[in-house]
Chains A and B, each alone.
Chain A
Amino acid sequence: EPEVTQTPSHQVTQMGQEVILRCVPISNHLYFYWYRQILGQKVEFLVSFYNNEISEKSEIFDDQFSVERPDGSNFTLKIRSTKLEDSAMYFCASSEGLAGSAGDTQYFGPGTRLTVL
């Protein structure tokens, strides 16, 4: 069964450094997402991406964050100048269509645990 993959599984970085989290969505999917889950808290939507541009973003997704689909398979989340509070599990997801109107399922990757020291 096709699945979303993410690398690395765990990333440790120093405060102020830049990190890039990588995701390979399911190949025929058109919509891509990033969510994060701070330990013990809710899974929170960060951003959605369609047709090579951001379609929606949350208030968490400020100028520190950016997303890119550099080629036909990868989808990346870049976090510039990381802060301690960026420590979280970051989940990538993809779907064929939109969840709300088409009911298309978002399939999630296993997550990247980011630890900022």
Chain B
Amino acid sequence: GEDVEQSLFLSVREGDSSVINCTYTDSSSTYLYWYKQEPGAGLQLLTYIFSNMDMKQDQRLTVLLNKKDKHLSLRIADTQTGDSAIYFCAESFVNRDDKIIFGKGTRLHILP
């Protein structure tokens, strides 16, 4: 079945790197996503990676995909107070084109 798991909380000092991890069970996923949800706001797509890629970098964001271990991570370099949010890992599938399966989200808390 489809399941996406994430740890619920992460605390990081301002200026350090944050690494948010995610594991998934269904290896037929085609795209994996990271969405950000700030308080009271909707889901903002941060980045996504095609399942045949290992890594994608976009400014302060680095996505690493280990397909063998079904592990996805999001690294945020030089974490800022504005990065404080809930980060959702999600996946979509070639034979189930419509829906995205989300994890429960990791709440990133920035320490001064």
Question: A residues bordering B, Cβ < 8 Å?
Answer: 4, 6, 31, 33, 35, 41-45, 48, 50, 55-56, 58, 91, 93, 98-101, 103, 105-111
Contacts and interface: CB of A to CB of B under 8 A. Distances in A.
Is chain B's binding surface mostly helix, strand, loop or mixed? Answer: strand
Contact of A99 (B40, B88, B98, B105): B98
Contact of A101 (B94, B99, B102): B94
A45 B97 contact: no
B75 interface: no
7 contacts: A42-B103, A99-B31, A103-B30, A103-B92, A106-B45, A108-B42, A108-B45
A31 B98 contact: yes
A6 B42 CA distance: 10
Contacts, number: 76
A14 B103 CA distance: 30
A113 B96 CA distance: 27
Contacts of B94: 100-101
Nearest to A44: B102
Contacts of A91: 42-43
B45 A107 contact: yes
B24 to A, nearest CB: 13
A41 B42 contact: no
Nearest to A103: B31
